[in-house]
């Protein structure tokens, strides 16, 4: 790829800020809204924030891990950054669009690169009705919650909830229950990425539920609709010797 300008952004931690200072000194720096590539320094959470912030530009984001897990990040090294970026693989991320309606009658929308999750707000289990493309598939799911995730998010909260790992390019979304009580044997579903999932909260006043699209949370929802966004798109970059497909395969065989 043609690379004329780099912008550096960093999490607020000292280790990330120190790295940004050194990299700016070595490679120069331009404002993110004018750069060909944005280098994000931090952890996976900061990468998600960066992708959300610059999604409208569709500018590639190259992350280097200055956080903890760093599944979405590349290894941090100061040297040879230009060569690494020039040879990196790009992956297009298509976020989910959540439309949520609340007990008070409000309607709000948000995008999720990882997942849209619904969680009970009190000690009482949530009761959810699930429709896919307008067809009722579960009349009542008694659970702590449920989530819909993208392939990019399938190794995050979805994996902790025992959901499946989805390869990029699979054209799938995962619908995964969280601590399902009834029906106890239901383990979720794999859906085509063009499907619309509607989740209605039964008895929403007595059994309140919150909905989160990545870091955007909406409380006391009555109905949530989720589908892949037809317009928004993010671009993330991985070193060619450890691309996204390899990371997914490695995670699938981790024990």
Q: What would the pLDDT profile of 82-135 be if each residue is shown by its tens digit? A: 999 999 999 999 999 999 999 999 999 999 999 999 999 999 999 999 999 999
The confidence score (pLDDT) of residue 242 equals 78
For the domain made up of 6-93+233-252, the CATH class stated in words is alpha beta
Per cent of the chain over pLDDT 90 is 83
Tell me the pLDDT tens digit for each residue of 201-234.
Answer: 999 999 999 999 999 999 999 999 999 998 889 9
Which residue's structure tokens are 């579903």?
A: 189
Which residue among the candidates 4, 18, 44, 241 is catalytic per the annotation?
A: 44
In the residue annotation, 4 being an active-site residue is answered as no
Q: Which position has the token pair 């995962």?
A: 174
Taking 70 as the threshold, does the pLDDT of residue 2 lie above it?
no
Residue-wise over 95-117: b if at least 16 C-beta within 10 A, else e?
Answer: bbbbbbbbeeeeeeebbbbbbbb
The structural domains of the chain, with segments of one domain joined by +, span 6-93+233-252, 96-228
Q: Which residue carries 């909905």 as its tokens?
A: 211
What are the DSSP calls for 74-101, one per residue?
BPP-STTHHHHHHH-EEEEE--EEEEEE
User: Quick check: 33 pLDDT over 60?
Assistant: yes
Does the structural domain 96-228 have CATH classification 3.40.1280.10? no
Per-residue pLDDT, 169: 85
DSSP states of 123-145? SSPEEEEEEETTEEEEEEEEESE
Preceding omega of 183 cis (within 30 degrees of 0): yes
Q: Considering the entire predicted model, what is its pTM?
A: 0.90
């Amino acid at each position: 790829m043609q690379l004329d300008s780099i912008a550096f952004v960093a999490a607020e931690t000292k280790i990330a800020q120190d790295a940004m200072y050194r990299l700016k000194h070595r490679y120069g720096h331009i404002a993110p809204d004018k750069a060909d590539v944005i280098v994000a320094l931090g952890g996976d959470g900061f990468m998600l924030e960066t992708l959300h912030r610059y999604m409208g530009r569709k500018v590639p984001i190259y992350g280097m891990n200055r956080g903890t897990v760093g599944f979405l990040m590349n290894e941090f090294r100061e040297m040879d950054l230009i060569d690494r970026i020039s040879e990196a693989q790009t992956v297009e991320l298509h976020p989910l669009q959540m439309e949520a309606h609340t007990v008070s009658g409000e309607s709000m929308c948000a995008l999720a690169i990882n997942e849209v999750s619904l969680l009970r707000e009190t000690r009482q289990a949530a009761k959810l009705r699930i429709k896919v493309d307008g067809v009722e598939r579960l009349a009542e799911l008694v659970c702590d919650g449920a989530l819909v995730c993208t392939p990019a998010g399938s190794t995050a909260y979805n994996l902790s909830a025992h959901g499946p790992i989805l390869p990029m390019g699979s054209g799938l979304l995962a619908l995964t229950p969280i601590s399902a009580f009834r029906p106890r044997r239901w383990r979720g579903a794999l859906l085509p990425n063009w499907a619309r999932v509607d989740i209605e909260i039964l008895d929403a006043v007595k059994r309140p539920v919150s909905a989160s699209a990545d870091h955007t949370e909406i409380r006391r929802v009555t109905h949530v609709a989720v589908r892949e966004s037809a317009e928004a798109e993010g671009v993330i970059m991985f070193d060619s010797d450890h691309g996204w497909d390899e990371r997914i395969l490695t995670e699938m065989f981790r024990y």
